[in-house]
Chains A and B, each alone.
Chain A
Amino acid sequence: MQAFRAIVNKELGTVLRDRTIVIAILIQLFIASFSSALLLGVLSAYDPDTILRYAGGNISIAMVDAGNTPLRAFLAARGLHITSYATLADAEAAFYRGKASAIVAVPAGNSGVAEVKLYLADKADSTNSLIRMVIQEPLREYENYLRARNDVQMYYTDLNGKPSTSFELIYSIILPVLMFFPAFVAGSMAIDSITEEVENNTLPTLLAAPITLNRIIAAKITSTIMLAIGQCLAWLALLQWNGINVQNRGWVLILAATVTGIVAAAAALGAVFFKDRERSQFVYSLTLLTAVALSTLLDVSPIKTLSRLAIGDYSTNGWNVVVFLIPMCVLYWLLSRTSRRLAV
């Protein structure tokens, strides 16, 4: 046990002394802040309400509507400033006088396909894309109105929820990234640490100490799991501090540790098999990519379980976490049976 602890201490010591773990933590911080910056940016850059709040003063639309269609009402409800003109020529004159940034012309007649014309400023103008984004929703409402007139019934157009993108991003992307990225790092570290002993020929020396090969590997894996738990704890505290509510924190942490165990054992298995860093790391990252892609399709996936635990899903509990101990044990058993390859 003492030798075991010595190896764990040595592994943790190297990581902390080399400050390599700092890079890993920086990466995670960068990913988290980057994805939320991206989300906020995307939400505000493409959201009609935000566009109108910041650029609304500059967007006024000249409208030529011969048939008195409800399009004007839809556009006005969106919060756009609309001025009606009798003819297209008048509207165009207003456009060139700078009174309107775009013209919407609705032709008369109400049979068949309606053809609305949108006149925008010269192509290089940057407000064009803003205008097109802002009028998209009113145009769709008008389209639905026309459909109803054609006796085409569209359902579910009147549902009223709350914009869900942030919620989905936090619980199904950011939280899994923060909780499982340490596992990904742990796998890489396990490979580095095992193949380094082999490639630098230090393994025989280590084996001369009163400890078995399986114990050495177990110590290396344990130290990576301990590091991962430390990082996850820090992330959970940071999320809490930012007002993001994570339910079932204990189980979330146990799940993260279990997944780290699975990934580290699988990575170590690869290292035992290939005995060199280049191939083990390559196969490891490919396997991980496959596993992540696969897990989005299955119902029993760590990512899904994590998201559900974190939002406090009624039907998800500790048993859904305990399930993942099985693959961990299987992998670990395989590892202990094959580790002999390293010594030869």
Chain B
Amino acid sequence: MNQTLLIARREITRLRQRFSGGTSPIAVILLLAVLGISAFALRDQISLGSGLYRIGVSPDAPPIRDSRFSTMIVTPVQGQALLDQHIIDAMLDGTRVIRRNDDRSLYAVQALKQYLGQQELRRISSSYPYDQAFPLRVGINYLPASGTNLQAAPGAVAPLARTEQVIIPSLEPPPVPFTQVVLALIYVLPITFISIFFTSSFMEEKVNRRLTVLLSAPVTPLQIILGKMLPYASFALITTVLIGVLTRASLPLVLLIYAPTTMFIFAIYLMVPLFYRTFKDITFIAMLVTVLTTAYLVFPAMFTNASELAYISPLTAAVKMYRGEGVGWREYLFPAVPIAALFGFALFAGSRMLNEEFLMGYRPLTRKIGDAIYLIMAHTQPYIAVPLWSLLVIPAVYLVQLVFLAFATNLPPGIMLGAVLLASAGVEELAKSIGIVVLAEHGLVKGAGNTLILAFLSALGFLLGEKLLLILSIGAVAEAPVSDALFNVGGLLVVTLFAHFAFTSIVTFLSTKARISYVLALSAGSLLHFAYNAYLIRGV
């Protein structure tokens, strides 16, 4: 613990030296400017784009304050002429809208309708008594499940549920949680920036070889990682609290919700500096990682109330919070547990990879990944390492599969299921076989019997992890049949275990004994796995 704190102190000193002088005021001013301008731009509502539509407005029409519209004040006669010349897209004449019949004009009218509708609600709520302006209340009630006794006796009716929520239709937030996703994303921006610093800290020490000195000191690699992470994690915590206070959210809830998100981002950015080779790689790798993590966080959250799969993103809980809707423990733990496991795995992998030989080696990226897996596995006997690996990579496999699933929902229904099944079979086979193949390459696995035993152990570890995960996800995600196909294929455990074992053996044998390239061996195993799953689904 003391060593960890010591390294944390050293990290803060490093940052201080780096950003002393002219940089910190510049950075602070820029940060404030970004926040201020964004807050100003978001003050009313968020709309897509700016200046797309040109609208003529008569002097008596209400003012239009929305970035999508550029307005000019004209008389109706002038407006008609401008409309005909295609100089403006629509003309707002008092309470009337004049338009052409082409697409541009129709788009403009729809956008106007949406904007003016909001303005009208403001107008009537300020100029009429509340109950007159909003004369409709809708009480939402939930009927108890059909397990009650009323099917038996048709005359007896269960007492109706009490009203749980009363809504006013025109004041309900729009179903697409666009605003709330943007709000939830505001937390992620500073966390990403902070973790980029975390990354460049490793990078700098790698370049000036101070990391080598540090590694020879009596501290463990895990202490180094935790010590370096501590200051940045604290910064992340501070910004999260700050944004929570500014957006008037409940602080304990915000901290609970953003803990997994922060862990996710830090886990990924811990891996970035360990893998880059040259000075130039890092810009692009960091860019790619930023885009992918943002996509992973945002994409599911956009479907917050439309699909239960939205819960794979930890941001969905924040979106629900900002919509004033509740989140259950199951829905919270559904993304949080795999992410916490992923974080733990990243720490372990990082502490194994943090050695001079690995960090300084300049090899192709695929080789480098192979070396990393070897380092992770070689800490103990293959008989323990292989099943443990299969068990521990489950969260990662599962996150990848869920991403596939999220993307596949956009494919035509006919090929959706097939594409997801094929892709996830590939990921599973990769996860189960890569460890054995890497160990075999380093001469740690010899003989066919040995390979078979390891393949079996790998299948066993994987199945165990899969079942653990299933316990967690039942109830949170019920979107059959695709999730069934992913997580619940096959009735009998023994059959599933044997299937996993068979496919893993095929891949490992083809690649280590028959000397076929790993990619080909993997494709063969995945195709068989896919065929097996497809057969099972058809049979059910």
Contacts and interface: CB of A to CB of B under 8 A. Distances in A.
Contact of A20 (B51, B281, B305, B308): B281
A296 interface: yes
Contacts of B158: 92
Given A37-B407, A159-B113, A167-B107, A283 B284 contact: no
A283 B30 contact: yes
Interface in A193-207: 196, 199-200
Interface stretch (B139-147, B383-391, B528-536): B139-147
A165 B110 CA distance: 9
A153 to B, nearest CB: 8
Contacts of A120: 140-143
Interface in B90-140: 95, 97, 99, 103-104, 106-113, 116-117, 120, 124, 128, 131-140
B154 interface: yes
Given A27-B287, A147-B124, A161-B110, A116 B51 contact: no
A92 B157 contact: yes
Interface stretch (B32-40, B252-260, B434-442): B32-40
Contacts of B99: 161
Interface residues of B, number: 107
A38 B302 contact: yes
Contacts of A278: 18, 200, 203-204
B85 interface: yes
Contacts of A147: 124, 132-133, 135
Contacts of B288: 23, 26-27
B37 A152 contact: no
A294 B33 CA distance: 9
B123 to A, nearest CB: 9
Contacts of B95: 155-156
B68 A129 contact: no
A104 B285 CA distance: 54
Interface stretch (A233-241, A303-311, A334-342): A303-311
B245 interface: no
Given A93-B157, A161-B106, A116 B150 contact: no
Chain A interface residue number, banded? 35 or more
Contacts of A123: 142
A133 interface: yes
Given A117-B141, A121-B142, A283 B52 contact: no
B154 A20 contact: no
Contact of B134 (A40, A122, A143): A143
A132 B172 CA distance: 11
Given A27-B291, A121-B142, A307-B49, A283 B26 contact: yes
Nearest to A293: B37
A3 to B, nearest CB: 23
- Residue from B132, B138, B308 having most chain A Cβ neighbours under 10 A: B138
Nearest to B103: A162
Interface in A284-305: 285-287, 289-290, 293-294, 296-297, 299, 301, 303-304
Nearest to A188: B283
A150 B49 CA distance: 37
A333 interface: no
A246 B303 CA distance: 30
Contacts, number: 286
B291 A23 contact: no
A203 B95 CA distance: 67
Interface string B178-221: 00000000000000010011001001100100000000000000
A49 interface: no
Interface in A127-173: 129-130, 132-133, 136, 139-140, 142-143, 146-147, 149-150, 152, 154-157, 159-165, 167-169, 171-173
Nearest to B478: A126
Interface stretch (A107-115, A208-216, A219-227, A324-332): A107-115
A42 B48 contact: no
A31 interface: yes
Given A93-B150, A120-B143, A121-B143, A297 B40 contact: yes
Nearest to B408: A37
Contacts of A117: 138-139, 141, 163
B306 interface: yes
B381 interface: no
A67 B188 CA distance: 51
Contacts of B475: 124
A161 B157 contact: no
B23 to A, nearest CB: 5
Interface string A84-109: 00001100110111000001000000
Given A41-B303, A307-B51, A277 B284 contact: no
Interface in A260-274: 274
Contact of A140 (B87, B132, B169, B298): B169
Given A42-B302, A278-B18, A161 B113 contact: yes
6 contacts: A124-B475, A147-B132, A149-B135, A161-B99, A169-B49, A307-B51
Interface of A: 14, 18, 20, 23-24, 26-27, 30-31, 34, 37-38, 40-42, 45-46, 88-89, 92-93, 95-97, 103, 112-124, 126, 129-130, 132-133, 136, 139-140, 142-143, 146-147, 149-150, 152, 154-157, 159-165, 167-169, 171-173, 185, 188-189, 192, 196, 199-200, 274, 277-279, 281-283, 285-287, 289-290, 293-294, 296-297, 299, 301, 303-304, 307-308, 311, 313-315
Q: What are the 4 closest A-B residue pairs judged by CB atoms, nearest first?
A: A172-B49, A161-B110, A161-B109, A45-B306
